[in-house]
Amino acid sequence: MSLPGVWPRLSAHGVFRFCDDFGISFSMDINEWLESGCVAHRLGADSKRQALAAIADLAGPAFAIPAAEVLDALLAREAQGSTGVGAGVGLPHARLKGLVRMRAVFLRLEQPVDFDAVDDQPVDLLFALFAPEDANTEHLRALARVSRLLRRTDIRRHLRQARTPDTMRALLAQEASASAA
């Protein structure tokens, strides 16, 4: 599938990138979106709102954007429809003023919470994607890539068994790189 004005290109380092009509490239490498300080495990939350607030609390300082703005953007998106995609996975996402590139937060909850998921199952794995306000195809392609990755039963199982945030991040980055190859 190709979109007008956007075409894939492999970088010198083997990272899959896309280029727009202006030749500006953007990475499809989860490792570049998901920094080590943006991964948490065994996080306590009693509700969807608390889980989203935990995401905002991680994202705000890391992105130099007030956590309240991040939470507002996530809640506004959730008001349009739940981002609970099933099998215990949530993919909350939002566009944020002030971002210049894709960013992400991943967290595993101690106990699953009701997330109004499509399969009515509670969610414990949350991969939140954030895009610049003017991002279009980049945001959609990133969501599709993460969705495909987290559809895999083995990946979800390994993420649930991981003992540290670094292990979870390494697993996501490694599996994403392997699936892009």
User: CA 62, CA 87: separation in Å to the nearest integer?
Assistant: 28
Residues 6+ apart with CB under 8 A from 96: 63, 65, 69, 70, 73, 103, 130, 131, 132, 133
Contact between 93 and 130 (Cβ < 8 Å): yes
**Which residues lie across from 95 on neighbouring strands?**
131
The identity of residue 113, as a single letter, is V
Burial class (CB in 10 A: 0-12, 13-18, 19+), 81: exposed
Residues recognised as catalytic: 93
